[in-house]
Amino acid sequence: MTQQGERVFISGNEATAEGGIAGGCRHFFGYPITPQNKIPEYMSAELPKLGGVYLQAESEVAAINMVYGAAAAGARVMTTSSSPGIALMQEGLSYMLGSELPCVLVNMVRGGPGLGNIGPAQSDYWLATRGAGHGDGRCITLTPYSVQELHDFTAGAFDIADRYRNPVMVLADAILANMMEPCALIPRRELPPPERNYAVGPHDPQERERNIVNSLWVEFDAMEAVNERIAERYRRAAEEITDWGEFGAEEPEVLLCAYGISARICESAVMQAEELGIPTRLIRPKTVFPFPAEPIRSWSERATAVVVVEMSMGQFIEDVRLAVEGRCPVDLLARTGGNMPSVGDVVEKIREVALTAGAAGV
């Protein structure tokens, strides 16, 4: 992604925080919540040293609105939270979208619904990809699957947010947040501030007109134009930044689809299935919005069955099914509430669908 620096053994939370700094973030507004507390802790120690600002908001509602203000003032700004906190940010996110402001959010998803627990989960998939509150906007959503990717994706998220003037969500989970792995750090850069001709603040009136950041469009046509502008950006993003990884057999019988920590488990399952003689390929989105429908569609034409593995009751699977469009059966392996699928579970599921597909004579 960028020039690599020091290689350290580090937790996902710390890698995320340091990724933010590497990406040029100097303003952080957040409210503590497990399992991502190490991020604000890290930021509160580091940002002041860099002349930046760490501010603990009184709530997630306040946090996202501070982010809104900071983004309006032209900052590379970030907030991080976990499920209930992200739910509270929905209105504010919608305002960011309506006002076409960039920011980076991290959601270290935990078991839900409600207070739930602090175990890992992937059940905020819709909240990320279909959320951003009311209205049509969506968060561009990145799904790292390692500490390294948490770092890299968070750092890269700022450029994406700027490019499309849209909130970018890094969607991970309680395990990725807490696990430790080696990570090559991107050097902290003072970025040249990108062109922000929309930002408010002290200015020379000779140089520009006054700026207004606003999401109120009384005229229906004006509002519709905003929606179309946003949709057009999403089309561009789909072409420019859709990203995914593939792993496994070149002539797969079974196609596995998973993202984030589930994809890690699936990689092990791919290897074990191979040993059992069931050629299996994993497609794992690194972006889920925009969604890599194309590779899933084309591989699903060559496979006899698709297995989706996710730590939710069936959210991600809808995007997979929208890509597969009936080309072959799509099966679900779901664990929730903090539980993770085991490698054995996945292998068992692969064996099961391979058998069924075989029996069906496909």
Partner 1 sequence: MAEETLINPYPDALTEVEMRYCPGCTHGTAHRLVAEVIDELGVKDRTVAIATVGCSVYAYEYFDTDAVQAAHGRGPAVATGIKRVQPEAIVFTYQGDGDLASIGMAEVVHAAARGEAITIVFINNAVFGMTQGQMAPTTLLGQRTTTSPTGRTVEAAGYPIRICELLATLPGVGYLAREALTTPPRIRSAKRSIRRAFETQVAGGGFSLVELLSICPTWWGMDPLEAVEHVEERMIDYYPLKVFRDRLAEEETGGGESDA
Partner 2 sequence: MREELFMAGIGGQGVNLAGQLVARAGMDIGLNVSWFPIYSPEVRGGSSTCTIVLTDGRVASPTSDHPTSMILMDRTAVRDFADRLAEGGLVVINSSLVPEPPDCGDCRVLMVPANDIAAEIGNERTLNMSLLGAWAAGTGVMTAEDVARSLREMLPERHHHHMPDNEKALARGADIGRSARI
Ligand X SMILES: Cc1ncc(C[n+]2csc(CCOP(=O)(O)OP(=O)(O)O)c2C)c(N)n1
Tokens of 118: 């602090």
State yes or no: cis peptide before 193, omega within 30 of 0.
Answer: no
Return the residue of 10, 14, 19, 54 that touches partner 1, per CB under 8 A.
54
Residue 107 carries which side chain, given as an amino acid letter? N
Least separation in angstroms between residue 252's CB and ligand X is 42
Write the interaction track for partner 1 spanning residues 83-122; mark x where CB under 8 A is met and - where it is not.
-x------xx--x---x--------------xx-------
Residue 149: which of 181, 113, 189 has the closest Cα? 181
Residue type, 95: Y
Q: Is 315 in the site for its own copies (CB under 8 A)?
A: yes
Burial category of 113 from C-beta neighbours within 10 Å (exposed 0-12, middle 13-18, buried 19 and up): exposed
* Residue 162 sits in the site that holds partner 1 (CB under 8 A): no
Does the footprint of partner 1 cover residue 145 (CB under 8 A)?
A: no
Please report whether residue 55 would count as binding ligand X according to CB under 6 A: no
- Measured from the CB atom, the residue of 111 and 248 that comes closer to its own copies is 111
Q: Which of 22, 33, 121, 305 is close enough to bind ligand X by CB under 6 A?
A: 33
If one asks whether residue 85 binds ligand X (CB under 6 A), the answer comes out as yes
User: How far is the first Cα of the chain from the last one, in angstroms, to the nearest whole number?
Assistant: 41
CB 246, min distance to ligand X, A: 37
Candidates 139, 51, 50; CA nearest to 94 is 139
Beta strand 254-257 with 305-310 is parallel
Contact between 280 and its own copies (CB under 8 A)?
Answer: no
By CB under 8 A, the residues from 171 to 230 that bind its own copies are 214-228
The packing angle between helices 260-275 and 343-359, to 10°, is 60
**Interaction site with partner 1 (CB under 8 A):** 27, 29, 31-34, 37, 40-41, 44-45, 48, 53-63, 65-75, 77, 84, 91-92, 95, 99, 114-115, 200-205, 210-216
